[in-house]
């Protein structure tokens, strides 16, 4: 039965259902089991924001606490994946990924290629990204573009609870390494989610809203901002088509291009720093493949190229919001040569 | 007498609807079933048909307005009804809409029952009167009755059932035979303590209710069969296989055109909702198994006509004249053909279907 649950609960349910279905699925990470120093504490933390809470008791021996050493436990998860497990490792903040780049970029992702297709590495690395929680420059980044850059890595950025559950189940069943990026400001958002297990295939964008006047492509948490802007735009007679790519790698280029061919206008909304992010990537794609359809220059709505500020006021200014999306959409619709 | 026209509740989650256009104007004379307005919701866009006959004396909510379910959007009345009476009713209706919530909007009651080890989901509208059970077709669910369940429930208790493998019921159909599905319907009646019911079945559901009647004729008051499977004639095997195997919107959408007379009804939302269903674990196997029940090569495998000949209950057939999935095959004289409707006749011509069920 579809009921309304949170993004956090949707992720927890996906993990629980896959652990019940397939005993090679294990969960590991900092404070995933007991927390506060001991496995099996009744009041398990379930990770720093409580996403894996309750799994330790449901699946004895399959939820592992790890030392605070990302390079060690991500390496261990990748090694376990090569030996037949399906580990889901929680790397608390995407900002910490730097210390395990070698395991991810040079090892996990390359195995299938280097061994002529004979190696499988079904590991999922769940990680939190994004600004908005007053967590400052080292805990607020949107680093999914870095992972999107690596051939062979699948990168998932779910925008709501329905997407989060189906995409996580797909990630766990996938035989390649997957980086699963959860926006920390989405955990308490809610939406309708079926109780049954289900999957959402990679590389299929979701058209969130139909429109003929402008295409707005938005990633992760920005999808809701784009929807809000689209609803306001509709009040002034502008119908925006909102596209959520769901996965940045593989990217559903067809849906984006088809939409721009219809609307002739593109706004890309990306919370990642503006250089070499998804906004520039998708803009380049459209400029090359659909140049003839464009009736206005492409607009990119992104933060400025600075670290995420710690000051509340500055952080609020930094994050793209619905008003900035609205302004960008109006600018492209009203553009005259 | 003043008869209010209210914002309908199309589906369990609908809370509000937006009037996108009025198809009738102040002063127009309308009869039951005439198209009154186009309404758009989060899930579906549809045409509101007139709940009664009279003169449209007052449009309360204008095109473009967003109105809560149950809110009065227009008033029907006789030409003799005094204007002051209408003004007062319109004022009250306006107040209610502006307050944003409508008292007394209960909506369908949903539940599940256990039958043969499977959980079956259902939604019920109406509190008194004869019991009607609505049984959807292949790949459908209880929400496919959204346009007919509410008008039927005015004087009846109307249950819309999710067959095994469908909607929110357990995604398992066992051998997928007509007998298994008919047992699920009879088990549903048992679970709810319903002695006798009027069974309404669409497509595969039509054959299922016939099989239920053949197994337990004393449980069936009446049968209404909408484009039922198993009454001769060709079947669109290409559609059925295409529906079963499509894994993306791009693959699915072209097949859905076969369901309607009006191709504009194949919206992205419809395709998305069907894809969401198809992506649930177990549904793939359910649809493949049932394909074996429906098809023998490219022909119909079901013979519901033979089953029906063993039963002595009143039967009504309704068929969309432009049905491209199961074109009307039977030459029975009691078939009511509906112009301008395709296979999903209860979505395209709900008024005609309600009339046939209540006749």
User: With bands split at pLDDT 50, 70 and 90, how would you rate the model's confidence at A39?
Assistant: low
Residue A200 and residue B278: Cα distance in Å, rounded? Answer: 10
β-sheet bridge partners, residue B40: B18, B45
**B18 contact residues in A (CB cutoff 8 A):** none
**Angle A214-A215-A216 (CA atoms, 0-180°, nearest 5)?**
115
A-chain residues near B168 (CB < 8 A): 1-2, 194-195
How confident is the model at residue B32, as a pLDDT?
A: 83
pTM of the model: 0.88
pLDDT for residue A57 = 85
3-state per-residue secondary structure call for A313-327 = HHHHHHCCCHHHHHH
Predicted local confidence at residue B235, as pLDDT: 95
CB contact at 8 A, B221 and B196: yes
The verdict on B158 touching A (C-beta cutoff 8 Å) is no
Nearest CA in chain B to A195: B168
Cβ distance of A1 and B112 shorter than 8 Å: yes
Q: Find chain B residues with C-beta within 8 A of A199's C-beta.
A: 279, 281
- Which tens digit of pLDDT belongs to each residue from A56-85? 889 988 999 899 999 999 999 999 999 999
To the query of whether residue A57 is one of the catalytic residues in this protein, the response is: no
Contacts 24+ apart (CB under 8 A), A67-74: A67/A30, A68/A30, A70/A96, A70/A97, A70/A99, A70/A100, A71/A99, A71/A100, A71/A102, A71/A103, A73/A28, A73/A29, A73/A30, A74/A100, A74/A103, A74/A104, A74/A125
- Bridge partners (DSSP) of residue B199 are B133, B223
| Alpha-carbon span B116 to B145, nearest angstrom | 25
What is the three-class DSSP state of A247?
Answer: strand
Cβ-based contacts of A22 with chain B (< 8 Å): none
- Given a contact cutoff of 8 angstroms between Cβ atoms, the answer to whether A81 and A121 are in contact is yes
Q: Of A290, A309, A327, nearest to A140 (Cα)?
A: A309
Question: What pLDDT sits at residue B106?
Answer: 64
What pLDDT, on the 0 to 100 scale, is given for residue A38? 55
**CB pair distance less than 8 Å for B268 and A196:** no
Pick from A1, A196, A210: CB nearest B281: A196
Q: Is B168 on the interface with A (CB under 8 A)?
A: yes
- Regions of chain B where pLDDT drops below 50: none
Q: What is the pLDDT of residue B212?
A: 98
Taking residues A76-101, report their average pLDDT.
96
Distances (CA, A) of A325 to A92, A242, B267, B305: 30, 11, 26, 60
pLDDT, mean of residues A238-242: 97
Pick from A99-113, A136-150, B79-93: least confident: B79-93
Tokens representing residue B334 in the block: 């009691």
> What are the angstrom distances between the C-alpha of A150 and each of A138, A244, B174?
22, 21, 45
Q: Which residue has the tokens 């195997």?
A: B245
Check: CB of residue A85 under 8 Å from CB of residue A26: yes
- Closest-CA distance, A332 to chain B, in angstroms, reads 25
Contact B276 A199 (CB under 8 A): no
Closest CA–CA distance from residue A198 to any residue of chain B (Å): 4
For tokens 């009647």, the residue is B213
Q: Exactly one of A139, A149, A183, A305 is catalytic; which is it? A: A139
Quick: pLDDT tens for A154-173.
999 999 999 999 999 999 99
pLDDT at B113: 96
Question: How is residue A97 annotated by DSSP?
Answer: G
Q: What does the pLDDT read at residue B14?
A: 78
Mutate to test the interface with B, among A190, A198, A199, A202 (most CBs of B within 10 A): A198
Q: What are phi and psi of B134, to 5 degrees?
A: -100, 125
DSSP string, B212-277: HHHH-GGGEEEEEEES-SSSSS---HHHHHHHHH--SHHHHHHHHGGG-SSGGG--HHHHHHHHHH
Query: Hey, is the C-beta of A197 within 8 angstroms of any chain B C-beta?
Result: yes
Residue B212 near residue B180 (C-beta atoms within 8 A)? no
What's the complex ipTM?
Answer: 0.90
- State the CB neighbour count (10 A cutoff) for residue B341: 26
Percent of chain A with pLDDT over 90: 88
- The answer to whether residue A1 neighbours chain B at the CB level (below 8 Å) is yes
DSSP-derived pairing of the beta strands B130-135 and B197-202:
parallel
**Which chain B residue's Cα is nearest to A258?**
B250
Token couple for B205: 């559901």
Distance CA B166, CA B294 (A): 16
- CA dist A195 and B173 (Å) reads 18
Q: How confident is the model at residue A42 (pLDDT cuts 50, 70, 90)?
A: low
> pLDDT tens digits for A1-38?
568 999 999 999 999 999 999 999 999 998 887 655 45
B20 touches chain A (CB under 8 A): no
Q: Sign (positive/negative) of CA torsion B3, B9, B15, B17?
A: negative
Query: How much is the pLDDT for A14?
Result: 98
């Amino acid at each position: 039965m579809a009921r309304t649950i949170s993004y956090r609960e949707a992720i927890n349910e996906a993990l629980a259902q896959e652990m019940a279905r397939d005993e090679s699925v294990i969960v590991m990470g900092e404070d995933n089991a007991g927390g506060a120093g001991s496995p099996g504490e009744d009041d398990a933390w379930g990770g720093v924001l409580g996403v894996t809470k309750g799994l330790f008791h449901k699946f004895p021996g399959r939820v592992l606490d790890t030392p605070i050493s990302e390079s060690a436990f991500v390496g261990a998860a990748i090694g376990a994946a090569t030996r037949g497990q399906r580990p889901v490792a929680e790397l608390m903040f995407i900002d910490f990924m730097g210390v395990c780049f070698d395991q991810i970029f040079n090892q996990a992702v390359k195995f299938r290629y280097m061994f002529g297709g004979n190696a499988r590495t079904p590991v999922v690395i769940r990680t939190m990204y994004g600004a908005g929680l007053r967590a400052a420059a080292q805990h607020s980044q949107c680093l999914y573009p870095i992972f999107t850059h690596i051939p062979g890595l699948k990168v998932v950025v779910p925008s709501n609870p329905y997407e989060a559950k189906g995409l996580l189940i797909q990630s766990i069943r996938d035989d390649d390494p997957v980086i699963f990026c959860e926006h920390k400001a989405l955990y308490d958002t809610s939406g309708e989610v079926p109780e049954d297990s289900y999957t959402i295939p990679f590389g299929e964008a979701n058209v969130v809203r139909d429109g003929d006047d402008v295409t707005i492509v938005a990633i992760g948490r920005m999808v809701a901002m784009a929807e809000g802007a689209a609803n306001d735009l509709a009040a002034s007679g502008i119908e925006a088509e909102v596209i959520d790519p769901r996965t940045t790698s593989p990217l559903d280029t067809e849906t984006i291009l088809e939409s721009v061919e219809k609307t002739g206008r593109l706004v890309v909304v990306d919370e990642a720093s503006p250089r070499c992010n998804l906004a520039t990537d998708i803009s380049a794609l459209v400029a090359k493949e659909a140049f003839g359809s464009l009736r206005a220059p492409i607009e990119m709505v992104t933060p400025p190229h600075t670290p995420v500020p710690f000051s509340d006021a500055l952080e609020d200014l930094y994050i793209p919001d619905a008003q900035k999306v609205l302004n960008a959409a109006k600018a492209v619709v009203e553009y005259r040569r | 007498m003043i008869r209010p026209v209210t914002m309908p509740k199309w589906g369990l989650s609908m809370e509000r609807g937006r009037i996108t256009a009025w198809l009738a104007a102040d002063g127009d004379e309308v009869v039951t079933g005439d198209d009154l307005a186009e309404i758009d919701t989060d899930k579906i866009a549809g045409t509101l048909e007139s709940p009664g006959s009279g003169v449209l004396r007052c449009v309360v909510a204008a095109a473009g307005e967003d109105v809560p379910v149950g809110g009065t959007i227009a008033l029907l009345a006789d030409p003799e009804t005094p204007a002051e009476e209408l003004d007062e009713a319109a004022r009250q209706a306006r107040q209610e809409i502006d307050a944003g919530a409508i008292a007394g909007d209960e909506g369908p009651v949903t539940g599940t029952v256990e039958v043969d080890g499977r959980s079956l989901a259902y939604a019920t509208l109406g509190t008194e009167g004869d019991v009607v059970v609505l049984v959807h077709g292949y790949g459908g669910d209880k929400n496919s009755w959204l346009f007919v369940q509410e008008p039927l429930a005015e004087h009846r208790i109307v249950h819309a059932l999710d067959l095994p493998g469908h909607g929110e019921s357990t995604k398992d159909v066992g051998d997928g035979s007509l007998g298994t599905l008919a047992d699920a319907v009879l088990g549903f009646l048992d679970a709810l303590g319903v002695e006798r019911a009027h069974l309404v079945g669409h497509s595969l559901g039509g054959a299922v209710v016939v099989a239920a009647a053949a197994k337990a004729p004393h449980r069936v008051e009446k049968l209404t069969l909408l484009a039922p499977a198993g009454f001769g004639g060709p079947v669109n095997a290409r559609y059925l296989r295409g529906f079963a195997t499509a894994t993306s919107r791009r693959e699915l959408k072209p097949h859905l055109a076969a369901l309607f007379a009006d191709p504009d009804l194949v919206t992205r939302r419809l395709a998305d909702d069907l894809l969401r269903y198809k992506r649930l674990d177990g549904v793939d196997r359910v649809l493949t198994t049932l394909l074996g029940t429906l098809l023998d090569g490219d022909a119909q495998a079901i013979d519901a006509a033979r089953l029906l000949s063993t039963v002595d209950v009143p039967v009504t057939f309704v068929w969309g004249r432009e049905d491209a999935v199961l074109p009307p095959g039977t030459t029975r004289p009691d078939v009511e053909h509906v112009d301008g409707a395709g296979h999903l006749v209860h979505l395209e011509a709900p008024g005609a279907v309600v009339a046939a069920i209540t006749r």
